[in-house]
Each structure stands twice: as structure tokens, then as C-alpha cells.
Structure 1
Amino acid sequence: MEPELMETDALEILPDAGLEEPQANAESLKQNGNELYKQKKYMEALEMYSQAIRLLPCAAYYGNRSATYMMLNKYNDALADAQEATSIDKEFTKGYQREGKCLLALGNPVAAIQSFNKSLVIEPNNQTLIAERESALKMKEHEEEAHRHYSSGDFRRALFCISQCLNTAPNAVSYRLFKAECFAFLSKYTEASDIVNTILAVDNRNADALFVRGLCLYYGDEIDKAQQHFKHVLRMNPDHTKAKDTYKKSKCLIQKKEEGNAAFKSGDHQKAYELYTDALSIDPYNKLTNAKLYCNRATTSTKLQNLQQAVDDCNKAIELDEKYVKAFTRRAATYTGLEMYEEAVRDYETVQKLEPSQQNARAVKDAKLELKKSKRKDYYKILGVDKNVTDDMLRKAYRKRAMLHHPDRHCNDTPEKQKEEEKIFKDVGEAYAVLSDPKKRSRYDSGADLEEGMGSGFGDFDATNLFQMFFQGGAPDFGGGFEGFGGSHRRQHQRSGFPGGGYQFHF
């Protein structure tokens, strides 16, 4: 809505009625300005009012020029003219009203309310003034809420509140920069930069705009460039508190991260873990840098054999940066170490989607093979040995497990228990038969049997025959007094019909 133009009571006399020439000329210029204003030729109108003011500085002329500046979105100039008008005429209601509108447009609702109050002292029943003051009061409330949410770190709600202010004052630079800063904290760097660039295109020495641009770089993990911006801001305004604080944080963050990296490279993993932890406490809002720190700490945790902590840190890294390939890769490797193969496959598939490559495709294939291997019998677990077991240790493990689960040891158990022990006994024999054969063990370890679709290949395995062959030089002692398979002793052995066939020992 266009501001209403002023007419002055003192200058309503026409030029041909004996008015002094400067006044007559000024009035004529004002009238010309009014016509141009109505035609929306604001620059031409501005010139007319300026000429009138040079001839006769009066409240009405300043008021009209103020209105014209407002139409050109030059609110600082408009405010200066409105304030000049009210200084000339203390009862100039329209001057106070324009002053309030300019202050509102510039994002200063507190001062705007004071100006509207001055108008209302003169015209207390003016409904337009009452409505405009109410608008200023609401804007003040939204502004206070925005700053409150900002201080508490709720940038999303702060953004909503400042957007309400911008509905009333869309050109307020302070509000636009506040909005850009909220965007930066919310990782919306493109939106923040668009606002900042528009402001800097008009005023390239706006320190607050340069700070927000630096903030976008800082949170975008371009810390070196960000520091250059902060130093530039501080050269322009040494007391710029936000630039000073953020620059200090950025320096501390880089220092701690580099110290952690150095400790890790030197092999002091516990110190590296502590340094990364210290770095993470410096600035919780720097998501991308903190994601790297969490991933670095996860790598350190794997060196410290704390795999679950490594997974937790990878989770935090991915939460901060959902496209962080290294974090997915680290978590997948850690899941493999924890034998959580399905989770590992999912992470490697995500890595392949984010960065397709032959290497990542191979990682997916290998993870799926490990998943298949995990679903078959784990011969190492069955025998209670690790994958680096020697032949001698393997024989000892088999002897111990075979004797523990031999059916004769459980002949007095319930049928269900006997059946369970017989199955374990068979699995123990199958595990030993495979792992004690170098070729079979190699195929088992590599998963070649799975890739060839052969499964374990021991469905008809005779565990009892293996047991007999293993103890051919002397049968096991299940309770003392047994000296071997060949002699006549207190125990006899004979062929029996328990699963797989073989020898049953009688006490």
C-alpha cells in the first residue's frame, strides 16, 4: 500500500494569490512531485520534492519525500526524512507514523512502537495507527521468541519465528541475516549463502553478512576458508563477538584433531581416543567435522579391541552425515568383526550406492559370502578353537569334545538328551574331519564349497568310525579301567546301531 502524501495547511494558497516566489515555486514543485508519485514515477517525484525542500524545508515536503523513499525501499533515507519532519513539526502525526513504518521495515519494532505511540498521543482514536502499533507489538514478540529459541539451540523454531517477522518486514537486513544464520546451523548452506550473497551484492562491507558466509564454510567443513572470513570480519570490527568466538573454536578444533591424528599414527591409540573425545566437545554444531572425528575415534576403538564402541561412533558419524562413505565402510568392517554379517552386507551395499566402484562391488560380494558362511556350521566354534589353530591343538580339541559328547557317556540320560548329544558328537567329528584335512579346510575357510553350491558335503558322515580310527592305539577312558580296543577287559565293545553306526561302550 502506498504511503499517503501530505498536504500542508500553510501552503494551500495558490501561487497567483500573492504568495512569495520561493514558497510558490516550492509549492509548485511539490504538486508536480505528487503527480509523478501517483504515476509511480518515484525517482522523478523524489527530485521534485528535493528541489522543494531546498527552496523551503518544511515538514510536509520531508514527509512526502519520506514516502517516496519508502516506495523505493530506501528505508534509512525515508527514516531520516520522517525524523526531520517531526523535528520541524512536533505535532506532525504522519511524520511519526512514517517514522514507525520505517523502523518496522528496518527490523526495529521497539523504536517503531514508540513512534506509533507518539502519533496516538496526537490522534488517540486513529484506527490505522492502532493497527500499525499492534503489528509492531506482534513483530516484537516474534523477534523475542526467535532470540530465545536461538539461545537454546532450537534453530528450527527460531527460523519459524524470524520468518514471521519477515512477513511484516521482508527487507530488514538484520532479520534476513538472522534467518541465514539459522539456515547455517541447520546445514542449509545453499539457502544461507543465497541470502548472504544478496546482501553483500548491495553492501560488500557488511561484517555480519561476511560472518555468516564464514559460518557456512566452517560448518561445511572448509575451516581454512572460514578462518579467512572470520579474520576479515575482525579486521573490520574487532569487537564482533560471534566472529571472535567461532574463530577461536575453529582453531581449537583443528589443533585437537591434528593432535589426535598424530597420536594415532604414533601408535598411542588410547591418547588418540582421548584427544578425539576432547575435540568432539568443542563445537557440537559442526556436524561434518564432528562426523570425521567420530569416525576417527571409531577406528581408534577397533585398535583398542572395543568393537561395540566403534559401531556406536560410526552410528553417530552417519547420523551427522548420512552420506559419509568412510563411516559406512568402517561400520561394515566392524560389523564383520562382531560377526553381524547381515548388517555388514547392508552397509557395503550403501557404500556401493554412494560411490559405485569395482572395489566396493567386490566388498559387497565378499560380505555376502561371509553371510553365507555364517549360516553354515561353524567348525571352529564346534571344536572350541580359533581359526589359527595348529594341528596338534586341533587333535587335542577333538579328543576333548569327542569324549565329552560320546553317546556312551550319556546312555543314562533322557532320550531327548541322548539325541542332542549324539548330534553334537557327529558335528564334532565332522568338524575335525574337515579341519584336519588341509584341502578341505582351505575350501571351508575360503567359502569355495558354498560358491560351488556343494554345502558342507558331509550329510552321511560317520562320526563313530572317525572316533574309532582316532583312538586306534588305545580307546578313551570314560571312567577308568579301560585299556584299549584289542584286549579282553572289564568293558567290552561291540557294534551298535546308534546314528552313524560304530562302537558302543558298555560299563
Structure 2
Amino acid sequence: MAAETVNEMDVEIVDQENPQDFTFIPKDNVELAELKKENGNQLYKIKQYRQALPLYTEAIELCPDSAGYYGNRAACYMMLGRYKDAFDDARKSIQLDDQYLKGYIRVLKCSLALGDIATAEQSINNIKQLSMNANTNNDDTNNTVLQSIDNEIKSLNIIKLYTDEAQKAYEKSDYRKVVYCMDRLLEQCPACVKYKLMKAECLAYLTRYQEAQEIANDILHIDKSNADAIYVRGMCLFYEDNIDRAFSHFQHVLRLAPDHTKAMNIYKRAKLLKQKKDEGNEAFKKNKFDEAYALYTEALKIDQFNAITNAKLYFNRAIVLSKLNKLPEAIADCNEALKLDENYLKALLRRAKCYMDSQDYEAAVRDYEKACKLDKSRDNKRLLQDAKLALKKSKRKDYYKILGIDKNATEDDIKKAYRKRALVHHPDRHANASEHERKEQERKFKELGEAYGILSDPKKKARYDNGHDIDDLEGGMHADIDPNQVFQSFFGGGVPGHATEFNFSSGGFPGAFSFQFG
């Protein structure tokens, strides 16, 4: 049987330099492919890239070995921001035609957009070499080609600079600097997944969890199996104290990439942190406060970036310190908790209580006022009122302290205390003292009279104990109290059941002041 012949009018021979690789394409296909390409070009010129794209694809399907068609589609993909697809087409175009200069330039642009530095450098070298070979005797043409990639060369140098800066900053845990560097890099490499995820990881370290998760989610929308993106989401969940979901993310990462060091390390830390916190809580429930303190302290050393969990640990430790009556230390732990979470209501209320117990009522009022802004509950309002009342009381004279008695003292205790101190501070006893000392003793003597006048009167004592102002009563609670009259009531008029004789003279002690009880 004679060999089948092919009409040359119906075919297009591709790859003229390698006739052994003849590909026969019906001429109608070639013409139709050209028509598709031209229509695509017209749409491309008016920036209708989405409409142009399928036309280039149809041209490629008709003539799959045309470097120019792949080059055109690569350009269209680039305008749509689909740099990975554009890169694949550009690579295909130079595989089909290793002298296709536009293909190399598009590989360069795409590799920069994707953050593929090694390929970008190789592409620049290829372009330079191709330009030199093609224009050995034409320096102007060679210079024009080099000028066409001048921006890409500058971009590559910027990428190298900020990549180096970011690496140094990351090693120093300067995550704000890393985020800044990543933003500069993404201006040059808008499609680089690696830079996006590095930024997301550092945002998580900076407690900007929502921004970090949005970046990770965008990447996972395109690539559901991206282990680094899943790792970032797990980080955010862990630092938001969503431990169980974080565990499942880390486990997923390790299934996809068993050697993912960061995921393995944070997974171990997360498990240890949960263990120590739970053990501390159990010790606290059993009133083993020293043990609970030690366990919470160990837990706080595990992960410095877990702000929410660490805030809770500081709060728990503050409660332990309160139980141990270490109020300054408890306040310090509440401060640390509030540094990590400024709206942590429980820590705010605990610190306020510690201030109350420390009699720092002004600080307690400030905390309770802030607590009421965060939560206007009836309990918080009551606590604020109590703190304000305590502050009000603290600014008055403490008559119990002046008499040297406690608030549960009986009427007889009050009288005995006054009798004892009045004899010590009466001005006549200090007649020969310095002027400053005499005035000080007069002040104390007057205060003793006031204290006795208030605390010996049941009505006034009740108002004083309830925090009312001293001058709330008509005429004032102590306006009618004469310290000398109070003293005379004890000594000048005699004491019931006793015969009393006393004498004050300007001569002072001894002899000038004498008293005896019959």
C-alpha cells in the first residue's frame, strides 16, 4: 500500500530548525488561531483581560506549539494578577523557542512577583546573554533591551535588601520591623506566598490576630493544603486561648509536613502550658497556695507571646498572693495581667480589692470606676460606692486611732482610753516644753476631746461609723465640744466612785502635776 501523502496546502510546519520534529497542523487551524490571537490582542489593548484570556487559550488549543501564543496568554495572566499561571506559560514559551526574548522577560517579571529570587537572577543573565548574541554588532539594540529590564533589576536589589533586613529582625524578635520589611517586599513581590505568611506570623506575635488570620485564610482559599497557612491559623487560635482548635490545626500541619519545626515546637508549648495551668488550678482548689504559685510561675515562662493565657495566669497568681496576704505582690501581678489585656475585668476588680485591703482607697476608686465603665452591673456599682465611702472615711480624723482603741470598743473602753491619754497630753504637763512641742500637745489634747465627744455620744458615733461627714449634723458634730470641758468632766468634777485631786501649775513636773485616787 502506498504511503499516505499530505497536501502541503493544508498544513503548517512548526519547528523549521528541527524537521525531524515536524508537527502538521491544518492550515485552517493556523488561520483560525491567528484570528483568535488578534481578537484577544484587541481586547487586551482596551484592558478587557478576562475576555481576552479565553481567546488566547483557544489559539493555544489550535496551535499548541506556538511560543507567541503562550507569551500572549502569560501577559494576560499577569494583568489579572495570576502570576503563577503567567509564570508557567512564560516558561512554556521559552521551552518552545529558546530565543524568545519576551518570554524571558515575562519569566523575570513573574519570578519577581512570586518572590523567586534565584529564577529572577537566572532570567536576567539569560536576557543579557540572548541580547548580546542577537545583537553582537548593535550596541544600541543591546542597551535598549537592558533598559527594558532596568526596573526589574532595581526591584531585585530592593528585594535582596529587605530580605536581609527581615532575617536580622526576625532573629532579634523585632516583629514590627519584620512586618515593615514584608510590606516593602510585597510591593515588589505582590504574589509571594512566603512573604505574606511571614507577615502573618509576625502579626500573630504582635497580637494582631484578625489581620494574621485574614492573610492565612486568603492563601488557604487558593491552596487548602498550605501547611504554613494552617500553622498561622493555629498560632492565632492558641494565642486567643482557643486551645482545642489550636491543637487540631497543629496536628493537621504535622500530618501534611511532619518536619514542620515551628508547628512541632508550638504544639509542645501549648500542651505544656495547658498542663501547668490545669495543675495550678487543681493545687489552688486544694488550698495548696505555695504549690499553685510555683505552677503558675512555671506556666508563665513557657510562651511569652500568649498574652491572653498569660494574663489569666497572672490573675490566678494574684489571687494566690492575696490568699497568702502578699498584697503588693498581688497588685503587681494584676498590673501585669492588665498590661496584657487592658480590659480584663476580673484582674481590674482583683486589683481594686487589693487596694482596698491595703487602704489605698483612691487607687481602689479609680479601678472600680473603670470597672463600672466596662460592666455597669449592680455589684460593681456597690463596690464603687463602698470604695468612695472608705475614701471619704480615710480623709477624716480616725478617732479610734486617736484614742488607741478598736472599733468594737465599749463605752467603758472609750472612757478609760480618754482618761489615760488626756493625762499624757494635757498642755499644763508640757508647760516647760518648746513652743513647737506645746502646740503639738495642745493639738493632740484637742483631738482627744473631739474623739471622746464623738465616740461617747451614740448618735454621733453611729453617724461617724457610717461615714457621714463630721459636720453633717446641725451645728457640726464637734462644734460644741470643748476639750477642756471634757477633761473637767473627768477630773475637775470628780470621777464617780473616786475621790480625785489634781493640780496643774506652770512649774510642770514633778510636783506641779499631782493626782490621787481615794
Q: What interval of TM-score do these two structures reach, taking the shorter chain for normalisation?
A: 0.7 to 0.9
Q: Deviations over 1:303-346 (max 9, x none)?
A: 22221111211111111111111111111111112222111111
Q: Equivalent residue for 1:204?
A: 224
Confirm whether residue 112 of structure 1 aligns to residue 120 of structure 2.
Answer: yes
User: Take 1:455 and 1:314, find their aligned partners in 2: how far apart are those partners?
Assistant: 45
Q: 1:188 aligns with which of 208, 211, 215?
A: 208
Structure 2: how far apart are the matches of 1:85 and 1:409?
A: 113
Q: 2:42 aligned with 1:32, yes or no? A: no
**Is the alpha carbon distance of 1:279 and 1:71 closer, same or farther for their aligned partners in structure 2, counting shifts above 3 Å?**
same
Which residue in the other structure is 2:269 paired with?
249
From 264, 269, 278, the equivalent of 1:258 is 278
Q: After superposition, what is the alpha-carbon deviation per residue over 1:170-221, rounded to whole angstroms, capped at 9, x for unaligned?
A: 2322222222222222222222222222222222222222221222211112
Cα gap change, 1:429 to 1:271, in 2 (>3 Å) = farther
Aligned with 2:53 (options 24, 43, 51): 43
What is the identity, as a one-letter code, of the residue corresponding to 1:37? N
Is 2:287 the partner of 1:277? no
Q: How many residues align?
A: 471
| Residue 327 of structure 1 pairs with residue 337 of structure 2 | no
**Residue matched to 2:111:** 103
Contact 1:49 1:64 in 2 (8 A): no
5 Å matches for 1:218-257?
A: 218-257=238-277
Instruction: Label 1:346 to 1:129 Cα distance change in 2 as closer, same or farther (>3 A).
Output: same
Match among 303, 314, 318 for residue 294 of structure 1: 314
C-alpha contact 2:234 2:245 (8 A) present in aligned 1: yes
Matches within 5 A, 1:101-140: 101-123=109-131, 125=143, 126-140=146-160
Once the two structures are aligned, what percentage of the paired residues are identical?
47
What is the rounded CA distance, in whole Å, between the counterparts of 1:297 and 1:63 in structure 2?
A: 65
Deviation at 1:354, TM superposition (A): 0.6
Q: Look up the match of 1:422.
A: 442
**Contact 2:504 2:513 survives alignment (8 Å):** yes
**More deviation, 30-39/230-239:** 30-39
- 2:425 equivalent in structure 1: 405
Instruction: Report if aligned partners of 2:53, 2:73 keep a CA contact under 8 Å in 1.
Output: no
State the alpha-carbon separation in 1 of the partners of residues 410 and 168 from structure 2: 68
Partner of 1:168: 188
SS of residue paired to 2:479: coil
Q: Secondary structure at the match of 2:220?
A: helix
Work out the CA distance in 2 between the residues paired with 1:151 and 1:453.
70
**DSSP-derived class of the 1:44 partner:** helix
In the superposition, relative to structure 1, how do residues 107 and 34 fare at CA in structure 2: closer, same or farther (>3 Å)? Answer: farther
**Aligned-CA RMSD value:** 3.3
User: What CA distance in whole angstroms lies between the structure 2 residues aligned with 1:451 and 1:466?
Assistant: 19
Rounded to whole Å, the distance in 1 between the matches of 2:393 and 2:163 is 61
CA contact (8 A) 1:383 1:428 kept: yes
Give me the whole-angstrom Cα distance separating, in 2, the residues matched to 1:107 and 1:452: 78
Offset from partner CA, 1:105-136 (integer Å, 9 cap, x none): 11223432332232123336311213212102
How far is the alpha carbon of 1:277 from its aligned partner? 1.5
C-alpha spacing 1:147/1:42, structure 2 compared with 1 (3 Å): farther
Superposition deviation, residue 464 in structure 1? 4.3
Does the 8 A contact of 1:106 with 1:171 survive in 2?
Answer: yes
Partner of 1:366: 386
Instruction: Give the AA of the match of 2:110.
Output: C
Cα separation, 2, equivalents of 1:74 and 1:296 = 51
Deviation at 1:473, TM superposition (A): 12
Mapped contact 2:349–2:368 kept (Cα < 8 A): yes
Aligned position for 1:310 = 330
Deviation at 1:81, TM superposition (A): 3.0
Deviations 1:358-409, CA, capped at 9 Å, x for gaps = 2211112111111111110122333445556677876775565444433233
Bigger drift between 181-190 and 126-135 goes to 181-190
Paired residue for 1:355, among 375, 378, 392?
375
State the partner residue of 1:75: 83
Query: Measured at CA, do residues 78 and 469 of structure 1 come closer, stay the same or move farther in structure 2, by a change above 3 Å?
Result: same
Amino acid at match of 1:95: G
Q: Which residue matches 1:15?
A: none
Distance 1:227 1:156 in 2: 27
| 1:73 aligned counterpart, secondary structure | coil
Amino acid across the alignment from 2:227 = A
Tell me by how many angstroms 1:30 deviates.
4.5
**Kept after mapping to 1: 8 A contact 2:39/2:52:** no
Conserved? CA contact 1:449–1:455, under 8 Å = no
Deviation at 1:439, TM superposition (A): 6.1
Q: Greater CA deviation, 428-437 or 295-304?
A: 428-437
Give unmatched runs, 5+ long, in structure 1.
Answer: 1-9, 13-18, 476-483, 497-503
Secondary structure of the structure 1 residue equivalent to 2:191:
coil
Q: Which moved more, 1:273-282 or 1:384-393?
A: 384-393
When structure 1 is superposed on structure 2, of 412-421 and 425-434 the one drifting more is: 425-434
Distance 1:53 1:68, change over 3 A: farther
5+ residue gaps, structure 2? 1-13, 17-22, 44-48, 132-141, 507-511
Alpha-carbon distance between aligned partners in 1 of 2:39 and 2:380, rounded to the nearest angstrom: 73
CA distance in structure 2 between the partners assigned to 1:186 and 1:454 by the alignment: 61
Distance 1:296 1:74, change over 3 A: same
Normalising by structure 2, we get a TM-score of 0.80
